Chain A
Amino acid sequence: MTMSTASDTMTRPPSALGPIKWLKKNLFSTWPNTVLTFVAAAVVYFVLKGVFTWVFVSAKWDPVTNSLKLFAVGQYPTGELWRVGTILLMVSFLMGVSWSLWGGTVRTFALALAVALGVIALLPVGLEKMGWTLRLWFLANPILTGLGYLLGRAPVVKSRWLLIGWVLSFVLTIFLLRGFEGNETLPVVETGLWGGLLLTFLLALIGIVASFPIGVLLALGRQSSLPVVKIFCTLFIELVRGVPLVTILFMFSIILPLFLPENIRIDRVMRAMLAMTFFAAAYMAENVRGGLQAIPRGQYEAAEAVGLNAFQTMLLIVLPQALRAVIPAIVGQFIALFMDTTLAIIVGLVELLAIGKSILNSNVEWLLLDSEVYIFIAAVFWVFTYSMSYASRRLEVALGVGER
Chain B
Amino acid sequence: MSQSALTRVFYRRGVPIWRDVVVLQWIAQIVSAVLVIVFLIFFVSNVLRAAEARGLSLGYGFIDTASGFPLPESVLPYDAARPFGYAFLIGILHTLKVSVVGVVLATLLGTVTALARLSTNWLVNKIASVYIEIIRNIPLAVQLFFWYFAVFQQLPSVQESFELPGPIFFSQRGLYMVWASPTATFGFWMVFVIAGVVLAVVLYRVLTSYQLRTGRTTYPIATALIVLIALPVVGWFLAGANPLSKTVPVLGKFNFSGGLNLTPEFTALLVGLVIYTGAFIAEVVRAGILAVSRGQFEAARAVGLSPMLVLRLVVLPQALRVIIPPLISQYLNLTKNSSLAILIGYPDLFFVGRTTINQAGRAVPVFILVMVSYLLMSLTTSAIMNVYNRRIQLVER
Name A's B-contacting residues (CB within 8 A): 26-27, 29, 33, 36-37, 40-41, 43-44, 225-229, 232, 239, 241-247, 250-251, 254-255, 257-262, 339-343, 345-346, 353, 356-357, 360, 368, 370-371, 374-375, 377-378, 381-382, 385-386, 389
Q: When chains A and B are docked, how far (Å) is the Cα of A43 from the Cα of B374? A: 40
Q: Which residues of B contact A227 (CB under 8 A)?
A: 29
Question: Is A353 touching B123 in the complex (CB atoms < 8 A)?
Answer: no
Question: Is A246 touching B350 in the complex (CB atoms < 8 A)?
Answer: yes
Q: When chains A and B are docked, how far (Å) is the Cα of A232 from the Cα of B216? A: 56
CB distance from B299 to the nearest CB of A (A): 24
What 4 A-B pairs have minimum CB-CB distances, sorted nearest first?
A: A26-B122, A339-B139, A370-B150, A342-B141
Closest Cβ neighbor of A335 among chain B residues: B137
Q: Which residues of A contact B121 (CB under 8 A)?
A: 26-27, 29, 33, 36-37, 40
B28 within 8 A of A: yes
Closest Cβ neighbor of A250 among chain B residues: B354
Q: Which residues of A contact B364 (CB under 8 A)?
A: 255, 258
B214 within 8 A of A: no
Partner of B47 from A29, A259, A356 at Cβ < 8 Å: A259
Question: Is B120 touching A242 in the complex (CB atoms < 8 A)?
Answer: no
Question: Is B36 touching A232 in the complex (CB atoms < 8 A)?
Answer: yes
Question: Is A378 touching B146 in the complex (CB atoms < 8 A)?
Answer: yes
A26-B122, A36-B121, A258-B50 given; A247·B340 CB < 8 A: no
Q: Which residues of B contact A250 (CB under 8 A)?
A: 350, 354, 367
Closest Cβ neighbor of B373 among chain A residues: A243
Other than the given A33-B120, A381-B138, 17 more pairs (CB < 8 A) read A36-B119, A229-B29, A243-B336, A243-B378, A244-B340, A257-B50, A258-B47, A258-B50, A258-B56, A339-B137, A339-B139, A353-B142, A368-B154, A370-B150, A371-B154, A381-B142, A382-B134
Q: When chains A and B are docked, how far (Å) is the Cα of A242 from the Cα of B372? A: 9
Q: Which residues of B contact A371 (CB under 8 A)?
A: 146, 150-151, 154
Partner of B120 from A26, A245, A341, A375 at Cβ < 8 Å: A26
Question: Is B120 touching A29 in the complex (CB atoms < 8 A)?
Answer: yes
Question: Is B139 touching A353 in the complex (CB atoms < 8 A)?
Answer: yes
Q: Which residues of B contact A247 (CB under 8 A)?
A: 339, 350, 367, 370-371, 374
CB distance from A360 to the nearest CB of B (A): 8
CB distance from A204 to the nearest CB of B (A): 11
Q: When chains A and B are docked, how far (Å) is the Cα of A29 from the Cα of B125? A: 14
Closest Cβ neighbor of A386 among chain B residues: B137
Question: Is B350 touching A239 in the complex (CB atoms < 8 A)?
Answer: no
Question: Is A244 touching B375 in the complex (CB atoms < 8 A)?
Answer: no
A244-B336, A378-B142, A378-B146 given; A228·B32 CB < 8 A: yes
Q: Which residues of A contact B140 (CB under 8 A)?
A: 339, 342
Question: Is B150 touching A374 in the complex (CB atoms < 8 A)?
Answer: yes
A36-B124, A246-B350, A370-B154 given; A255·B145 CB < 8 A: no
A29-B120, A340-B139, A353-B145 given; A232·B32 CB < 8 A: yes
13 contacts between A and B (CB under 8 A): A40-B121, A226-B28, A242-B378, A243-B336, A254-B357, A258-B56, A258-B364, A342-B140, A353-B139, A378-B138, A378-B142, A378-B146, A381-B138
B186 within 8 A of A: no
Q: Which residues of A contact B350 (CB under 8 A)?
A: 244, 246-247, 250
B33 within 8 A of A: yes
Q: When chains A and B are docked, how far (Å) is the Cα of A229 from the Cα of B29? A: 6
